[in-house]
Amino acid sequence: MSSTATANKKKQRQGSGPVLDWSAGHGPVTGALSATTGAFAVATTGAATAMPPGWALAVGAAGALGHTIAGIRVRNAGRTLATRAASWLVGAGWTTWAMTHGPLTWAALGSLATIGVGIGAAARSTALYEEAREDEAIAVEQRQIAAGLSAERRAIAAEWVDRIQRVCSITVRVVGVEMWETGAGFSIDAELPPGGATWNKIAGESPRLSADARLPHGCTATASPGIHQGRVIIDVTTVNVLEEERTYPADYGPLSIHTGIPWGYRTNAEEIRAYLREQCALIVGPTGSGKTNMVHDVLAGFARAEDVLTWVIDLNAGSAGLPWVIPALSGELTREDGKPVRPGVDWLAGSYDEAMTMLDAAVRVAKQRKMGYQDLLSQRNTDLLPVSAKIPQIMLVIDEGAEILASPDRQIRKLAEKILEVIRIARAMGLRTVITALGATGSVLSNLMIRREAKVRVALTGGETEGMDLSKMFPGARGLRVDQAPHKGAGFMGTPESPAALFKAWRILPNQIREITAATSDRHPLLDDISAKAAGPAYARRWDAERTAWMRDQTVTDDGDTPSPGTLRLSALSEQPESPEDALARRFREEIDAQFATVADPHAIESGGGADRPAGLNLSALREEQDSPAQQAALAALLAAGPGGTGASAIARALADAFGTTRQTVVGWLKAWMQDGTAVRVGEGTKARYVHRNHAPGA
Ligand SMILES: Nc1ncnc2c1ncn2[C@@H]1O[C@H](COP(=O)(O)OP(=O)(O)OP(=O)(O)O)[C@@H](O)[C@H]1O
């Protein structure tokens, strides 16, 4: 009821004189006081005005009736109703008698006080009775719920004791049945009979148990060890959550390598985490199984971690890492404070050479950490580098890395050796790998290093049975069948902490990747000084224009053309809220020059300072020299063209949309740059190209 309606009702009541509120609450004291003072008032007024005493009796009877009706409405106990009605009638009786004999006599006043105490005591006892009655009702209700539940549990226990006897010929004794909060099933804790029965025997019969229980497709009865070897836990799923598509949880809060990184959810709808401080991981998924999506889940988790830097190798043109880099580097994502958004991965290698550079750096980091952190390790009395936001773990994610490891190609073998070297030497020093595989698991899993170090395993089946040897992926796990996970993104996951069982990766969409990139930009750690020094210029210059030019080539122009390598995607920039000129100038300065605080002050570098820090390209310095954004863009295009160089027409074409620059203008700038040594000309006649001095032969 609205407050105005209540106020109106009050007004109406006031207008029609005093109302008797039968349901008004009274305690034992106020109730008795109100009854006796009311009776006294009626008796004195009645005596003074010579009211017929029968009226008091009538009022008392009406009071008793009113209170009884109100009491019945709120379901008071019969005993409470009787007490209240009796109070009214006793009060009325006294009033009638007092009006006849005079209320102001000692006998009248004394008897009224006695009645008051009596009513109070009776009311107190009924109040206590009411409370006890309420408590008892609640307890009964709870007993009923518990009885109902335990009846359900008892029924489940009896049913499964029979079933296990029938299917496995083992007579277990059920110790407990736990219904899952997610509502997707239950767990049975059972004691095995004496005589040598083991939990694996039940685990091995999982498919037959599931069939016997008529479980829906995708639901399983999986047995695992109990608290000791004589106990078994059987998890039974009754709802197939793997059928549904669940998107990556919208909470992008901070994570840590120490608390585990969630990779998906189990059949009981609970998330499953990968603990990768010491473990490497292997993710197998044939084409179309949802592997790329899973890799993004993995990268999302690492991006959210405060103590992880992710280095990605994807020889398939870096496609696994690009969605984590392009939106940040292209300026598509902006922060409120105007600072650049850091990419969601720390280094992305899309080619053989870049991958080799990255792996070399990783090996150097591992070795340098071993030496550089000797004191810290002895101080902490450990041989495991204490990974933190100050000394981050480096997670190398190698898409289709298993195919690299299994390749017979001599060159690729060199990469494979480096990957294995990182896996072999870097566990204690905080470098671990996540390797994905399309299916080459046989040869990869025969590698001792992988078998020993990569115990976090995922097999995405998506219904694919070809080349999916679950017994090799999860040795010792029984009852896993590919056809239990026919949905994309679903499969099996096992870790040293959580035995292999069905799971599903969250679906992660490009907008979530962009959101996570933006939300975690501030959170990524910086590579510690010891490691940064070891990684050297190869690391510090990983975002340099010529090394990232290929990434920009992945961005398709508005008209769908794939521009020739080295040209700028100016059309992409024109969509930004900033003017294209500003965006271009800002992007290239920020992106190339001392990117993300990995390169010291550009002016210091130029003047030979920061000797132990590798030099960036120092485009910031050009801010003063190249006063027009178009001219800066032209210079950036020249840089991006690399040693192959470019021509005035190509630069003019790249700039035409955003700046309307003519070829003539570009020719003028090129001349000036040749004179001051910024550019050199190579080749003659129609073959003449302009090359930035950084890429000039012998530079
Ligand atoms: N976890 C998931 N939940 C629901 N659907 C998914 C999931 N993962 C993938 N899919 C669906 O499967 C499709 C293929 O996924 P994805 O590209 O990740 O597979 P892939 O194994 O990498 O295949 P390819 O190698 O052909 O790219 C997606 O477009 C999506 O529709």
* Residue 607 assigned as binding residue: no
Residue type, 263: W
Q: Is 32's pLDDT higher than 70?
A: no
Checking if the pLDDT of 407 tops 70, the result is yes
| ipTM of the complex as predicted | 0.97
* Dist CA 219 CA 479 (whole Å): 12
Task: Please check whether residue 184 is in contact with residue 152, taking contact to mean a CB–CB distance below 8 angstroms.
Answer: no
Span 434-446, average pLDDT:
81
Nearest-angstrom CA–CA distance, 596 and 610: 16
pLDDT (average), residues 418-434: 96
289 is in an annotated binding site: yes
Q: Is the pLDDT of residue 574 over 60?
A: no
Nearest CA to ligand 1 atom 29: 290
Does 80 score more than 50 pLDDT? Answer: yes
Question: Is a pLDDT exceeding 70 seen at residue 555?
Answer: no
Ligand 1 centroid – CA 526 distance (Å): 32
The per-residue pLDDT for 477 is 83
Give the CA angle between residues 551, 553, 554 to the nearest 5°. Answer: 70
Is 442 annotated as contributing to ligand binding?
no
Over range 451-469, report the average pLDDT.
82
Residue 264 CA to ligand 1 centre (angstroms): 14
pLDDT on residue 81: 64
Residue 3 has pLDDT above 50, yes or no: no
- Please name the residue that has the structure tokens 């407990």: 176
Pocket test for ligand 1, best of 488, 508, 512 (most atoms within 8 A of CB): 488
Query: What average pLDDT does this structure show over 401-412?
Result: 90
pLDDT at 465: 67
The answer to whether the beta carbons of residues 205 and 160 sit under 8 Å apart is: no
The Å distance, Cα 320 to ligand 1 centre, comes to 13
Please name the residue whose Cα sits nearest to atom 7 of ligand 1. 489
* Residue 413 scores a pLDDT above 80: yes
- Residue 53 pLDDT greater than 70, yes or no: no
Please give the mean pLDDT across all residues of the chain.
Answer: 79
What average pLDDT score do residues 285-310 get? 95
218: annotated binding-site residue? no
Beta-carbon count within 10 A of 434 CB? 28
Ligand 1 atom closest to 287 (CA):
25
- The pair of structure tokens assigned to 167 is 């299917």
Closest CA to 346 of 618, 598, 545, 602: 598
| Dihedral-angle region of residue 129 (phi above 0 means left; psi in -120 to 50 means alpha; beta otherwise) | alpha
| Residue nearest atom 28 of ligand 1, based on CA coordinates | 290
Flag the least confident range among 15-24, 42-51, 310-319, 674-683: 15-24
Looking from the CA of residue 264, the nearest atom of ligand 1 is 1
Least confident of 31-35, 281-285, 287-291: 31-35
Q: Can you tell me the mean pLDDT for 250-256? A: 95
Q: Which of 273-287, 557-571, 665-679 has the highest mean pLDDT?
A: 273-287
pLDDT band (50, 70, 90) for residue 242: confident
What global pTM score does this model have? 0.59
CB atoms closer than 10 angstroms to residue 247:
10
Give the whole-number percent of the chain exceeding pLDDT 90. 42
- Distance (Å) from CA 488 to ligand 1 centroid: 6
What pLDDT is recorded for position 281? 96
Atom of ligand 1 nearest to the CA of 504: 1
- 567 versus 541: which is more confidently predicted? 541
d(CA 361, CA 538): 7
* Amino acid (1-letter code) at residue 573: L
339-397 pLDDT tens trace:
788 999 999 999 999 999 999 999 999 999 999 999 999 999 999 999 999 999 999 99
CA distances from 256 to 40, 280, 371, 520 (A): 76, 16, 25, 13
* Under 8 Å between Cβ of 256 and 307: yes
Rounded to an integer, the average pLDDT of 542-552 is 86
Element (H, E) at 478: none
292 known member of a binding site: yes
**Which residues lie closer than 8 Å to 515 by C-beta, 6 or more apart?**
252
262-to-230, 255, 473, 529 alpha-carbon distances in Å: 31, 9, 20, 29
- Lowest mean pLDDT of 58-67, 219-228, 422-431, 601-610, name the range: 601-610
Cβ < 6 Å from ligand 1: which residues?
Answer: 245, 285, 287-293, 488-489, 504-507
Give pLDDT, residue 159.
Answer: 95
pLDDT for 287 equals: 86
| pLDDT for 59 | 59
- Total Cβ atoms within 10 A of residue 31: 23
Ordered structural domains, the chain, with CATH: 25-141 (no CATH), 170-237 (no CATH), 261-520 (3.40.50.300), 555-695 (1.10.10.10)
Question: Is the pLDDT reported for residue 525 higher than 90?
Answer: yes
Q: What integer is the mean pLDDT of 266-288?
A: 93
Compute, in angstroms, the gap from residue 398 CA to the centroid of ligand 1.
18
Q: Is 286 annotated as a binding residue?
A: yes
Q: How far is the CA of 534 from the centre of ligand 1 (A)?
A: 38
Q: Which atom of ligand 1 is nearest to the CA of 506?
A: 1
Instruction: Answer yes or no: are the C-beta atoms of 330 and 569 closer than 8 Å.
Output: yes
**Residues 6+ positions from 110 with CB-CB distance below 8 Å:** none
The pLDDT of residue 478 is 79
- Rounded Cα gap, residues 374 and 383, in angstroms: 9
The more confident residue out of 623 and 626 is 626
Calculate how far, in angstroms, residue 145's C-alpha sits from the geometric centre of ligand 1: 44
Q: What is the pLDDT of residues 463-508, one digit of tens each?
A: 666 667 788 889 888 778 888 888 899 999 999 999 999 899 999 9
Predicted confidence (pLDDT) at residue 576 exceeds the cutoff of 60: no
**What is the average pLDDT across 617-638?**
61
* Contact by Cβ (8 Å): 63, 84: no
Which of 245, 266, 293 has the most ligand 1 atoms within 8 A of CB, as the residue to mutate? 293
| Protein residue with least CA distance to atom 23, ligand 1 | 288
Ligand 1 centroid–CA 487 distance in Å is 10
Stretch 133-157: mean pLDDT: 77
Closest Cα to residue 119, out of 252, 185, 26?
26
Distance CA 546, CA 541 (A): 10
90 against 406, higher pLDDT: 406
Q: Which residues pair with 189 in a beta bridge?
A: 176, 233
Using pLDDT thresholds of 50, 70 and 90, give the confidence band for residue 540: very high
Helix pair 322-329, 510-520: axis angle to 10 deg:
60
Question: Pick the residue with more confidence: 205 or 699?
Answer: 205
Task: Say how many residues make up the chain.
Answer: 699
